[in-house]
Amino acid sequence: MSKNPIYLDNQATTPLAPEVFDVMIPWLRDSFGNPHSAHLLGRKASAAVEVARDQMSGLLPESGNILFTGSATEAVNMGFGVVHALRTDGRNKIIVLDSEHAAVRDTAISYEKQGFIVERHPIGSDGIASLAQLGDAIDGKTALVAAMLVNNEIGVIQPVEAIAELAHAKGALMLCDVVQGYGRVDIADNIDMAAISAHKIYGPKGIGALWVRNGIDLPPLIHGGGQERGIRSGTLSPALCAGFGQAAALCMERRESDAAHIQALSDKARYYFADWTINGSCNQRYSGNLNIRRQGVDVGRLMSDVRGVAFSAGSACASGSGRPSHVLAALGLDSTQIKSSIRLGIGRYNSIKDIEIASKLINEAVEVQLA
């Protein structure tokens, strides 16, 4: 097998933590019970699922429940279902930030087709939503406000607590996509729903979850055997759940050391890329995300020239679709600036050497381009 490139795309996905792999294996190999069966094998599997829920809940607000899903995208779709009940109170408006991930953005658009008014709220040139403008936009007709914690493309952190307060002041609910912040950035206690994903925290792919505040009723997303409180039927995978739980527990345990490590690597990267401009706020951001641009650079060419580094041009989630980055456009960047932007995603398993080698490879290729 050929050697992997230096991996600097930790917003797209993260490598599986070895501890997570170890926890998952017995549930795949030996303990194959259905967690919804009443016999001993089933109860063992069910206990593992509940341990995972406990481990994950340590990083979420109190007074709520975790519902497992197949991905954060599914969790967002599940959470949006809340608007159906609110519509009976005459609330037919949904507000999402213009910088939301496609999971939120496209789900919101699907509600437009069902007669809801969907407003994509602008962000400033720093990537942050203006609370004054949001306060004006949220009104008594608003059912749901969706604002993400950490942006997947530019790493900017939104003032989620204040946004939730604005939503509540008008009787609306607040859904927060915390996928890129879970386990790394504090999550405000006053949100109503939070979508999370295991593969962004060194856990397995194929599992996400929605945290829902007690007292909020959601309609079933998937009908069937009534699992996950009747909202998401289907047999759970104890291996995936246990892996998610272990990944969350590790994030809790390593929170300070991970943060210090990633900050040190990020500082190093900012030093090596001092000739580049940071997209979005320089300070109100998660340090593991460095989205930068340099005038005159053709990122398409850069990516094919620098095969030894796995990095991203704009959002990895959107890149497969061929769509230009709506987040960079929402910052006010023109198409040339967007095409000269790269995203470096730094994670737990990167080293200073990774940053040194990757920045050298990228900067050398850029100098050739600009010569």
Q: How far apart are the first and last CA of the chain?
A: 35
In the range 174-193, which residues lie near ligand PLP by CB under 6 A? Answer: 177, 179-180
Which one of 71-79, 112-120, 158-166, 213-221 is the stretch in contact with ligand PLP (CB under 6 A)? Answer: 71-79
In the range 30-59, which residues lie near ligand PLP by CB under 6 A? Answer: none
Helices (H), 153-232: 160-169
Q: How far is the CB of 321 from ligand PLP (least distance, A)?
A: 12
Question: What does DSSP say about strands 193-197 and 208-213: parallel, antiparallel, or unpaired?
Answer: antiparallel
Whether the CB-CB separation of 142 and 168 falls below 8 Å is answered with no
In the range 249-288, which residues lie near ligand PLP by CB under 6 A? Answer: none
One of 152, 158, 279, 291 touching ligand PLP (CB under 6 A):
152
**Closer Cβ to ligand PLP, 71 or 246, answer by number:** 71
Say whether residue 294 binds ligand PLP (CB under 6 A). Answer: no
One of 317, 324, 356, 357 touching ligand PLP (CB under 6 A):
317
* CA 77/CA 15 separation, integer angstroms: 26
Say whether residue 107 binds ligand PLP (CB under 6 A). Answer: no
**Closer Cβ to ligand PLP, 192 or 361, answer by number:** 192
* CA 123/CA 147 separation, integer angstroms: 11
**Closer Cβ to ligand PLP, 148 or 303, answer by number:** 148
Say whether residue 148 binds ligand PLP (CB under 6 A). Answer: yes
Enter the DSSP assignment of 192.
S
* CA 46/CA 29 separation, integer angstroms: 16
Residues 6+ apart with CB under 8 A from 134: 95, 121, 145, 163, 166
Residue 309 host element (H or E):
strand 309-310
Say whether residue 154 binds ligand PLP (CB under 6 A). Answer: no
Residues identified as active-site: 317
Phi, psi of 292 (to 5 degrees): -135, 155
Which one of 173-181, 250-258, 296-304, 350-358 is the stretch in contact with ligand PLP (CB under 6 A)? Answer: 173-181
Q: Name the site residues for ligand PLP (rule: CB under 6 A).
A: 71-73, 101, 103, 148, 152, 177, 179-180, 197, 208, 317
